Chain A
Amino acid sequence: MRAANRGDAAAYRELLLAITPVLRGVVRARGRALGPEGCEDVVQEVLLAIHLKRQTWREDAPLRPWLYAIARHKTADAFRARGHRIDLPIEDFTEALPAAEGPDPTQDSDMEKVLDRLEPRAADIVRGLGMRGETVAETAARLQMSEGAVRVALHRALKAIARLRERMLE
């Protein structure tokens, strides 16, 4: 995370990939009523929250308590938004078993709907970097933008996605 906050994308990606199965395990154990798709939506919302709030972690503090606090708050919030009240003890995260690998059930998920509502260029940048595996430099070249502009647009797009997802559930 320290490397991530200094801009090391690869280290950050590894961290997110490592915590996702744990998150998924907790969410699925709690959210049977939501179905696998609904659960994956919640997992994605928690990941977005971790991402957008990562500056609230202080480098001199241990990472795990911060991570669990964010995940717990956002999971409870996401369930509440979907009409499920849950009581989520922190031990759920500390003792969680990672979910088994399976197909990622996110066709027609919330994320697709949100991306469709995003400004086309912003959605294109997110899709390019996420789904087509472009690098920032490639996206910048394709859209004839500077790399800095792509990064700013990406950051704004991710914030907009988080906001739209909240609004969609209200």
Chain B
Amino acid sequence: MKTDELIAALAADTRPGPGVARRLARALPGAAILMALAFALFWGVRPDLAAAMTSPAALKPLVPLALAGLAGKLALTLSRPEVRGGRTAAALWVFAAVLVAGFAVALAAGGLSGLVAALATPSLLTCLTSIPALAIPFLSAALWALAAGAPRRPALAGALAGLAAGSLAAALYALFCDQDAALFVLPAYAAAILIVALTGALAGARTLAW
């Protein structure tokens, strides 16, 4: 088939597929319902939720929620091939730096022994498995939607989708988790979210390549 003939066939295909945003709009409601349902069935909110949400522990769902928003926005931006991360990427780096700084402050106050003590709880394993499990529906939906895009770096786009999915799952999980020590929450949640981000990167390298 000659190139001109290929062009004729391409031109006859006058229906562009749905874009990333439209696919997201299609897939996200289902993923959200699935996540909420799974959470209600297998986790459920902590009994002292109302009290916790008026304490500093309210940051546990709010910070991941903001992170999810930033990562999701950047993933969407980078699904267009000609666009660079720009301000959103910078904001994400600042966000990460603030979290690391917060962890450093908590570590300086509690010491290494404090960190070990905070993490020596069965909640650690629950956290590291629950957040990735809760993230699965959203990550699948996000990767499916992003496959309609054209990210220059598929693994990066996948990692950002994973970061958004993991953060959203962490925000939800925070309503269940009754561990409020910064020395537990920061490292455990970060590790769980990064597991999802890594999964997204590996999956994205395969499914988002074009």
Contact = CB atoms under 8 A, between A and B. Distances in A.
Contacts of B17: 52, 55, 155
A73 B6 CA distance: 20
Interface in B4-28: 4-20
Given A47-B3, A129-B8, A58 B13 contact: no
A12 interface: yes
Contact of B12 (A9, A52, A111): A9
B11 A61 contact: no
Given A53-B150, A69-B82, A44 B3 contact: yes
Interface string A1-29: 00011011110110011001000100000
A43 B3 contact: yes
A48 B7 CA distance: 9
Interface residues of A, number: 54
Main secondary structure of the interface of B (DSSP, over half): loop
Main secondary structure of the interface of A (DSSP, over half): helix
Contacts of B18: 55
Contacts, number: 126
B9 A129 contact: yes
A13 B3 CA distance: 12
A84 interface: no
B19 A127 contact: no
Contact of B10 (A40, A65, A73, A158): A158
A60 B87 CA distance: 19
Contact of A20 (B3, B12, B210): B3
A66 B85 CA distance: 15
B1 interface: yes
A112 B1 contact: yes
Contacts of B3: 20, 24, 40, 43-44, 47, 104, 106
B152 interface: yes
B148 interface: yes
Contacts of B12: 9, 129-130, 135-136, 151, 154
A81 to B, nearest CB: 11
Contacts of B6: 44, 47-48, 111, 130
29 contacts: A7-B15, A8-B14, A10-B11, A12-B14, A13-B8, A16-B10, A16-B11, A20-B7, A47-B6, A48-B6, A53-B150, A53-B210, A55-B19, A56-B20, A56-B80, A56-B148, A58-B80, A66-B80, A69-B152, A73-B150, A104-B3, A111-B1, A111-B6, A129-B9, A131-B8, A151-B12, A151-B13, A151-B15, A155-B15
Given A49-B210, A55-B18, 19 more contacts: A7-B15, A10-B11, A12-B10, A53-B149, A53-B210, A55-B16, A56-B20, A56-B80, A56-B149, A56-B150, A57-B80, A66-B82, A69-B81, A69-B150, A77-B209, A106-B3, A127-B1, A131-B5, A131-B8
Interface of B: 1-20, 79-82, 148-150, 152, 209-210
